[in-house]
Amino acid sequence: MSSSASAGTVTDPITTEVVRNGLVTAAEQMKVVLCRAAYSPVIYEMYDFACALFDREVRVLGQGRGMPLFLGTLGPSVTAIVEAVGGEESLRPGDVLFSTYGYEIGSHQQDAAVVLPGFHEGELVGYAAVKAHHLDVGAKAPYCTDTIDIYQEGVIFPGVKLWRKGVRQEDLYRTLVANSRLPQALEGDLNAEVAAAKRGLDELNALIDRHGRAVFDRSVEAMYDHGEALIRSYLADVPDGRYVASCALDDNGLDRELVPFEIAVEIDGSDMVVDFTGAPAQQAGPINCPYPTTLSVARCALMALAGGAEDANEGHFRPLSIRTTPGTLFHPEPPAPIFIFGGAAVVAVDVIHRALADALPGKVPAGSGGDICSFMMWGEDESGELWITGCDHTVGQGAWDASDGGAPLIVIATSGERNIPAEALESRFPFLVEKLELAIDSGGAGERRGGLGIDQHYRALRDFSLTSAFERSRTPPWGLGGGGEGRPNSWGVRDANGVFVPHPKVTGLGISAGSVVEVRTGGGGGFGDPRLREPEKVLADVRDGYVSAKAAIRIYPHVDLSGP
């Protein structure tokens, strides 16, 4: 779809809105198909995926409400994969393009990307793309925090045609499946990705048929223009300037040294540049964040503030650019390891918001728990069959001028994800979820209190192995405007004798039957002077178990807690 299609022609806004919502619905239909057909709970319960449609110029037409962090990676994935197979002139109906190469898809090899070219009346009109997390694609362990190069992180398929004109390429397919510890899951989830992409192309063609190609193209251009205008209207109210914030990652996965970095945001009129050149050199361990995900970080941060709850399309990102230095944490170069890239990405979204807090007083939330607090666990069931599953955990959200921090949620960058319900875990895997509750006193104090983290305990019913990529255990969520810090993330294992041992990032830790894995996720930072919090809200917090009486007496001395 060429942008020239709209030159000198105006489409009516009602048709544009119908087309826009039709594209979002098409992407949501992709999501529904993927979830219904997928094999793994990581996909159908956690929503660790993204589905999107693109036009011929690889501009976002619509994206399903899955993983926001893929806002910037799916487009570069399509571009790189199409180029790898010979460019758009090599594409034919029925082709299925596939890649696991981390630097091509913008994330670790487990986030395998499927791309289908879409044709209408014989002409290439766009692409359907799906990225979904696969349980195992042959890395050194089912999940890793200690890899030293990309080659340890899973089998690499660098942009191939896995189907040609509708015919599956059996040699490539068998090679892919042979490199997985869970071949049945890999096949099931891959076929679900292909089915989802096909559904997206069917919906795209139906939209074009319904409105006609010319009207459809004009509506798409008007849709992009509206998205751009929305973002520019927000940025125009931000004072021009350069705003800087810093943070640190707990470690690089190989040692225990903090990894500090800073991010700057530059506002010039209605243009925004996010400057990542304050990042350190790319790390020896796998915390490096590839360039497409760094682009996603900036897009997520911008849409969270300025998007007005709209579904994103390419127009929303026209006012935004990023600046990076190759060979650094936010622009690593091969073969640097990237397996746990998401930790840096999630923290960076919070840091961008922290940078803008001074420019937008009261309009930016305090720091969140700042991580997805992920586990990957695996072992053998009673029959000796291997099982693998993953769990993310919710964290407290930062408060802001108008509100206390929200209930525990997955962080902004991965907000389309969900935690796996205890019932689903217990029905398929050898765990007993003994505790899942809001963590008292975990939110930062303030006129507006930070949201609470959670405490969750898993009792092991059989021996298994665990990899943890927990971040933000050494840098508590910050408060704003005088608000207090939230509780940082932490976890550890209590053995059968009751001895508790805390752990940092770890790969393949052996968990013995009878032990309890204890998770304590972070709370959000508070906003404003705690002495200004309304007494009735403090009393309600104590009554509801959000804040202990002991903490309330210390933090809110202006409130009388001696009453009934």
Q: Among 230, 261, 277, give the residue marking a domain's end.
A: 230
Q: Is the pLDDT assigned to residue 66 strictly greater than 90?
A: no
Q: Say if CB 396 and CB 453 are below 8 A apart.
A: yes
CA 5 to chain centre: 34
Which residue is listed with tokens 């200690």? 146
Q: What type of residue sits at position 112?
A: A
Instruction: Write down the pLDDT at residue 3.
Output: 40
- Is 105 within the bounds of a domain? yes
- Is 488 within the bounds of a domain? yes
Instruction: Write down the pLDDT at residue 563.
Output: 62
pTM of the complete model = 0.95
Angle ∠(221,223,225) on CA atoms, nearest 5: 70
Tens of pLDDT along 411-434?
877 777 778 889 989 999 999 999
Tokens of 403: 């509100």
- Is 101 within the bounds of a domain? yes
- What is the number of domains present in the chain? 2
Question: What's the average model confidence in pLDDT over 496-512?
Answer: 97
Range with lowest mean pLDDT among 70-74, 188-192, 432-436, 529-533? 70-74
Residues 534, 391, single domain; the answer is: yes
Q: How many CA atoms lie within 13 A of 468 on its CB side?
A: 27
- Is 243 within the bounds of a domain? no
Tens of pLDDT along 451-464?
999 999 999 999 99
- Is 549 within the bounds of a domain? yes
Q: Is the pLDDT assigned to residue 8 strictly greater than 50?
A: no
Instruction: Write down the pLDDT at residue 412.
Output: 76
Higher-scoring residue by pLDDT: 564, 71: 71
Q: 3-state DSSP helix/strand/coil percent for the chain, to nearest 5?
A: 35, 25, 45
Tens of pLDDT along 114-139?
999 999 999 999 999 999 999 999 99
Nearest-angstrom CA–CA distance, 313 and 337: 31
Q: Any alpha helices (H) in 38-93, and if so which ranges? A: 41-44, 74-84
Tens of pLDDT along 334-355?
999 999 999 999 999 999 999 9
DSSP-derived letter for residue 406 is: P
- CA of 317: how far to CAs of 17, 80, 168, 273, 457, in Å? 19, 20, 36, 11, 41
Residue 436 lies in domain:
365-564
Question: What's the average model confidence in pLDDT over 426-443?
Answer: 96
Q: Is the pLDDT assigned to residue 71 strictly greater than 80?
A: no
- Is 260 within the bounds of a domain? no
Nearest-angstrom CA–CA distance, 158 and 137: 14
Tens of pLDDT along 190-217?
999 999 999 999 999 999 999 999 999 9
Nearest-angstrom CA–CA distance, 370 and 407: 14
- Residue 318 CB neighbour total at 10 angstroms: 17
Residues 415, 564, single domain; the answer is: yes
Helix or strand run (H / E) with residue 18: helix 13-37
Q: Among 181, 208, 230, give the residue marking a domain's end.
A: 230
Q: Is the pLDDT assigned to residue 1 strictly greater than 50?
A: no
Q: Is the pLDDT assigned to residue 408 strictly greater than 60?
A: yes
Question: What's the average model confidence in pLDDT over 162-176?
Answer: 98
Q: Is the pLDDT assigned to residue 289 strictly greater than 60?
A: yes
Phi first, then psi, for residue 266 (nearest 5°) are -110, 125
Q: Among 177, 200, 230, give the residue marking a domain's end.
A: 230
In the chain, the percentage of residues whose pLDDT exceeds 90 is 90
Q: Where residue 9 falls among pLDDT bands split at 50, 70, 90?
A: low
Instruction: Write down the pLDDT at residue 31.
Output: 95
